[in-house]
Structure 1
């Protein structure tokens, strides 16, 4: 089963990789995709685990596909702004598509709507543009969405980093080119992944925590720590507790 409660947690360690050496333990929460009720349940479960030293890291893709994007963004932004260095949020490709639509709705809006933007618009009660419509209608949709999001949320989204690192563990949204140092990666690798990421292990001893790719039963594999269990499709949202002792998966 995908669901793992506190009695079913799985602690894993990849013995072929350099030992995990995060400077601080942390929970990495997988792709939320507009599933606020699942996020609430998972955060409550993590809180009950009573691990006061563990930070909270969100791997991106907070928006689209699920029906509660507006609530998810409000919750995560308020939590992150109040938590300071105890919580870190990175950008996913769906946040990038939303921002690209705000910047140029005519060029980028159709693609975003095909990949989950319709649900985000619905959560903000903004009517979508469907089919081949005049530019003015796309601009009106953009303006209504920007007003519904608000300047503070848009600024927060634009300020999201692409990576977060502690010790020899880096968190990205989709992946990275295993042949290049993290500092030398193209931005698109972090947002959309790299063709070699899942088939070639890194040679620098760096562990990579990621979301983006749905996995039914997340498992540590050659230094990769997946977190996305497809919340919007499966009804299961997962997190990975990463610490020197290994990786523990927890789901709600």
Structure 2
């Protein structure tokens, strides 16, 4: 399904939204969450649209919840290396939780497992630690996961940026404080969002493309361009084609 919106959404009278002015068109793909078959289908659909000048931007959360994290990460690392500057991948809060678990499995492992880490471990055939267990078991789980991921994949995740920008359009994972410039944000705003992000429009004319918050029917609203349609739960993975004359949603 392809949905087109050329008309820019109206804003509060005292905060008119600037027209979209990306320096280059791009596809922003929402949270994949271990759904590699959906990602493969969506990429083929985008390729058939015949828009070779459009870049590919991923909004983060490649891992957890879905059953195919290992396949998603293999695809992401291979595509990133092959595409170079034609593809940009943002870090999501689930990549951050996984990396935190690698850094300190005893302190961070239980939380990660509660929020989708079990599926990631299963995709790499690493047994999870369940319940109150000795520290040594958490460390062993971490070591097995690190070996299964491999140094190259871990380095790729650690190197993911929190933002990507073209013209007056910025891509983040979760959101941003509308009262602060992008350069002045706390890291957590990009990864976990901000209470005012969906309640107040920005006053600096920036458009914000984001994932993280599931919406069944994404639409452009008050300078925000959502992309997360809850692939792991709904079976629908979405992309937004962002151009100077509007936004087109493509679903797979």
* Alignment TM class, shorter chain as reference: over 0.9
Aligned partner of 2:216 in structure 1 is 216
Asked if residue 170 in structure 1 is aligned to residue 164 in structure 2, the reply is: no
Aligned partner of 2:5 in structure 1 is 11
Separation (CA, whole Å) in 2 of partners of 1:41 and 1:64: 19
Pairwise CA distance, 1:11: 2.1
Separation (CA, whole Å) in 2 of partners of 1:14 and 1:112: 37
1:119-170 Cα distance to aligned partner (Å, 9 max, x none) = 0000000000000000000000000000000000000000000000000000
Aligned partner of 2:95 in structure 1 is 95
1:61-106 Cα distance to aligned partner (Å, 9 max, x none) = 0000000000000001100111010000010000000000000000
Separation (CA, whole Å) in 1 of partners of 2:223 and 2:146: 39
Aligned partner of 1:186 in structure 2 is 186
Aligned partner of 1:54 in structure 2 is 54
Aligned partner of 2:14 in structure 1 is none
Aligned partner of 1:131 in structure 2 is 131
Separation (CA, whole Å) in 2 of partners of 1:215 and 1:25: 23
Separation (CA, whole Å) in 2 of partners of 1:15 and 1:179: 20
Query: Structure 2: any 5+ residue segments left out of the alignment?
Result: 12-16
Pairwise CA distance, 1:51: 0.3
Separation (CA, whole Å) in 1 of partners of 2:106 and 2:51: 47
Asked if residue 112 in structure 1 is aligned to residue 112 in structure 2, the reply is: yes
For the residue of structure 2 that corresponds to 1:113, the secondary structure is: helix
1:16-66 Cα distance to aligned partner (Å, 9 max, x none) = 311000000000000000000000000000000000110000000000000
Matched residues, number: 246
Separation (CA, whole Å) in 1 of partners of 2:131 and 2:77: 33
TM-score, normalised relative to structure 2 = 0.97
Query: Structure 1: any 5+ residue segments left out of the alignment?
Result: none
Asked if residue 249 in structure 1 is aligned to residue 244 in structure 2, the reply is: no
Pairwise CA distance, 1:205: 0.2
For the residue of structure 2 that corresponds to 1:156, the secondary structure is: helix
For the residue of structure 1 that corresponds to 2:153, the secondary structure is: helix
Pairwise CA distance, 1:15: 4.1
Pairwise CA distance, 1:14: 2.1
Separation (CA, whole Å) in 2 of partners of 1:245 and 1:45: 21
Aligned partner of 1:141 in structure 2 is 141
Separation (CA, whole Å) in 1 of partners of 2:206 and 2:42: 27
Separation (CA, whole Å) in 1 of partners of 2:53 and 2:168: 18
Pairwise CA distance, 1:10: 2.6
